[in-house]
Structure 1
Amino acid sequence: MANLDKYTETFKMGSNSTSTAEIYCNVTNVKFQYSLYATTYILIFIPGLLANSAALWVLCRFISKKNKAIIFMINLSVADLAHVLSLPLRIYYYISHHWPFQRALCLLCFYLKYLNMYASICFLTCISLQRCFFLLKPFRARDWKRRYDVGISAAIWIIVGTACLPFPILRSTDLNNNKSCFADLGYKQMNAVALVGMITVAELAGFVIPVIIIAWCTWKTTISLRQPPMAFQGISERQKALRMVFMCAAVFFICFTPYHINFIFYAMVKETIISSCPVVRIALYFHPFCLCLASLCCLLDPILYYFMASEFRDQLSRHGSSVTRSRLMSKESGSSMIG
């Protein structure tokens, strides 16, 4: 009886986020998502915090390397850290099913989730595009200024930060109920025209265009390996750039593609535009998994930083070995003159 009462209370707590289509199709999407979210965020928090903090410290040491997309990687790490630092509050809520803090803090954590997602998409796209462009146009890379990357990054934060505001705004219903948060937040109903417009902009700017750019960069970088290298650009430089672009593509497709495919149907289900029960069940079932995959970028992005650090280690080792050889040659020439 106690378990039944607890389940009933949980269902009521999530009823604000239950659409008419869910009620009609007899769908309750609260049976597994709490444990799924809590487990995923627990597994991500400590490794994500350590990896991104260490990456941020290492990347700042190489900030002068203007042709290595360092500025974009620093911003990507900051975006991941902002989301990682909000995970303890998410973990607490999904374990206790209770939100004891201010509603503004709930909406801020909710906002940081989507800010991290779309900022990561933009910075991954910039990293791929810059590495590919500098590989194909090495002379342009010499004239590139670091302030260009800083300006692009600032513009991304402003645009993405503004574009993500509708996510918490549309979920800020029932402000008197301060005990629910995150997955249990309600939805503000929108008219069909506004909803279609929002979905179209989100899908085009946040998914379709980045997919096209990253796919093009991967293809062009792969093609460049078949061409003869320039005098100052060895085959190893192209292979490292290809690894970087491939990793950006892998992070993008693993973490963000499932969410954006499911997002179209999920939004229409929540706004009761779609009422087909099979579609309703599938969209609601896969939504928690898609959000968990999106959070995995906090663990996969540091692999990019590892590749970058390995490039710098290779450069330092080559520089050190060349210095050693020059010293040995100078010693040998000096001893031969004495002899």
Structure 2
Amino acid sequence: MNNTLEDGSGPKLVYASVFGCILALGLPLNAVSLWTLVRHHSLKSPSAVYMVNLAISDLLLVISLPMRIYFYATDTWSLGVLECNLTTMLFRNNIRSSAFFITFISVDRLLAVVYPLRSRYLRTSYNAWKAAAIVWLSVVAMNIPEGLEFSEMLKTQSINQSSCFEYVVIPHRPVMSYIFSVLVFIMLAVNIVCTVMVSWTLNRHLSDSARVNNKVNVMLIFIMSLVMFTVCFLPVSVGLLTVTTKIGITPLVCLASLNCCLDPLLYYFSLDAFWKKKEDVGLPRRQ
């Protein structure tokens, strides 16, 4: 038992188990969610557009988990720098794109609840697809310099059978990590403002059942968004800038990966009658 703890195989088996559970839950949940969104909901709604892209982002993370599970379960990395880099970038892409899409969903709900008439020309599927395209292009743009820098660091540290996700030290922080960490704080602030404004608006119309059919579900959208930012996105973003070894970041990576299991709850609470086909999948319909 002591030898297991000393050589670090104990924690690595725990990481393998955690990633295995996330894979077992995240793959079917997001696959079913994506199928339901595409099959049962019109992509003419901005909310549905953001959620489809969010589900795709989560599935990209999920398909990278088997490599992490194999690494932590066997304590070996039989692949090369390119595969290690790709797996790492898929994880970072998920955190970045998910944070953006969840914020867009919150802003879209804010506009629908607080400014339903003034925002109807802004809340279109065309604008939602443009916003989604900008997010993916931004993520790819971050990948290029960061991926090159990450590959050089792995080569410098002589990646071998026991490295990749557990390399020894982080010599310096990529500029993109600083930029995104600032963006995470900004997006968290945006989500908080959206939550406060929507809560205030709903309280004003508390007696008007025609305003919103299910106020609890509306607020659960914002609560889930805040939970994912404070539990999944914020710790790993801060950790990437403050932790000096990859070993110290691994628990935060496990925590951040949970977002792909929580996002399907966001779809359920966001879309009225999630399992039924509707023309408008925004707020619950007015009477």
Of stretches 214-223 and 234-243 in structure 1, the one that deviates more from structure 2 is 234-243
1:222 counterpart residue number: 199
* Residues 115 and 65 of structure 1, relative CA distance in 2, 3 Å threshold: closer
Shift of 1:189: 3.4
Asked whether the equivalents of residues 67 and 141 of structure 1 are also in contact (C-alpha less than 8 Å), the reply is no
- Structure 2: runs of 5+ lacking an equivalent: 279-287
Amino acid at match of 1:246: I
RMSD: 3.1
TM-score (norm: length of structure 1): 0.71
Find 1:295's aligned residue among 257, 263, 281. 257
CA distance in 2, matches of 1:238, 1:216: 18
**Residue pairs, 1:81-120, within 5 angstroms:** 81-120=59-98
- Choose between structure 1 and 2: higher helix proportion: 1
Amino acid at match of 1:208: F
Amino acid at match of 1:111: M
Shift of 1:44: 0.8
Shift of 1:235: 3.1
Rg larger in 1 or in 2?
1
* Residues 37 and 59 of structure 1, relative CA distance in 2, 3 Å threshold: same
Please list every run of at least 4 consecutive aligned residues from structure 1 whose deviation after the TM superposition is greater than 6 angstroms. 229-232
Asked whether the equivalents of residues 54 and 101 of structure 2 are also in contact (C-alpha less than 8 Å), the reply is yes
Is 1:56 aligned with 2:34? yes
Find 1:179's aligned residue among 146, 161, 164. 161
Asked whether the equivalents of residues 132 and 241 of structure 1 are also in contact (C-alpha less than 8 Å), the reply is no
CA distance in 2, matches of 1:224, 1:127: 17
**Residue pairs, 1:114-129, within 5 angstroms:** 114-129=92-107
Shift of 1:313: 5.7
Find 2:239's aligned residue among 230, 246, 262. 262
CA distance in 1, matches of 2:195, 2:60: 29
Asked whether the equivalents of residues 95 and 256 of structure 2 are also in contact (C-alpha less than 8 Å), the reply is yes
2:281 counterpart residue number: none
- Give the total of aligned pairs: 273
CA distance in 2, matches of 1:136, 1:56: 28
* Residues 169 and 67 of structure 1, relative CA distance in 2, 3 Å threshold: same
Find 2:134's aligned residue among 130, 144, 155. 155
TM-score (norm: length of structure 2): 0.82
CA distance in 2, matches of 1:165, 1:230: 52
Is 1:247 aligned with 2:224? yes
* Residues 241 and 165 of structure 1, relative CA distance in 2, 3 Å threshold: farther
Percent of residue pairs bearing the same amino acid type: 26
Amino acid at match of 2:20: I
Asked whether the equivalents of residues 30 and 264 of structure 2 are also in contact (C-alpha less than 8 Å), the reply is yes
- Structure 1: runs of 5+ lacking an equivalent: 11-29, 271-282, 317-339
